[in-house]
Amino acid sequence: MKRKEYEDALEPLELELVQMAHWARATGARICVLFEGRDTAGKGGTIRAISERINPRQCRTVALSKPNEAEQSQWYFQRYVPHLPSAGEIVLFDRSWYNRAGVEKVMGFATEEQVDRFLRQAPVFEQMLVESGILLFKYWLSCDQAAQEERFAERLSDPLKRWKLSPIDIKARTRFAEYSAAREAMFAATHTRHAPWTVVDYNDQKQGRLTLIRNLLDRLPDTKVAQEEIDWPELGHEPLEEDFRLLEPIPDYDPED
């Protein structure tokens, strides 16, 4: 999809996202969206597209690093709970508790027993979230290996994007099939009526973003709420000029003085 075509299609969705944020604030809705998928699928770009026009005090992105020693001793879901949305908030998880069923399983960071326990507990945990009133959405961003390799190569060649590559990403390149098998096992155990998965084709990232955002908005209740009209007062005088002094350059000095 061409950039201009994408931007033209995104603009009306951005207006609806802002309206959705007003609705969440007015009604106290709690919105939680999980973004999972292959490395390079496009999670970060989609999260930016959703959050860019929304007040950052209302819309938060959560991207946790690997657990520290204390967190490793906790109940697995414990470190995610403090990041769940309060009334009027929108929380976007750039990867979530499903790390255990994906990267931790494939790369050997979790035992088979830990993964099995997670797959049993995740539907129960999510049912508690939904029953508490949280609007929970789970998206899997799908891309094939050819697209993934092309994006890895782009990151490797661009110094401004190279930070996105990690040693885990390099190792994961040879385990595409293992990730597919782990994903299917995860879907089988956690695709439930109260918290279903939605898979979006991200071989074209721009098209994928538009598809995901449209789906998210369509699954929310009617988000149209009357907004308070702002009565913008007149100044009552000629606009004043700013009164300030320019910062003077630091003078040359001899460090031995």
Q: Between 154 and 136, where is the model more confident?
A: 136
pLDDT in tens, 79-107: 999 999 999 999 999 999 999 999 999 99
Residues 74 and 64: beta-carbon distance below 8 Å:
no
CA–centroid distance for 241 within its chain:
42
Is 90 exceeded by the pLDDT of residue 244? no
Residue 18's pLDDT band, with cuts at 50, 70 and 90, is: very high
Q: CA dist 112 to 6, 121, 158, 183, Å? A: 43, 14, 37, 15
Selecting from 3.50.50.60, 3.90.800.10, 3.40.50.300, 3.30.470.10, what CATH number does the domain 3-219 have?
Answer: 3.40.50.300
Q: What is the DSSP string of 29-79?
A: -EEEEEEEESTTSSHHHHHHHHHTTS-TTTEEEE---S--HHHHTS-GGGG
Residue-level pLDDT at 253:
67
- pLDDT tens readout for residues 137-191: 999 999 998 888 888 788 888 888 888 777 777 777 889 899 999 999 999 999 9
Q: Specify the pTM.
A: 0.87
DSSP run (H or E) holding 92:
strand 90-94
Q: What is the average pLDDT score of the chain?
A: 92
Beta carbons within 8 Å of 67's beta carbon, 6+ residues apart: 74, 79
* Residue boundaries of the structural domains of the chain: 3-219
The residue type at 41: A
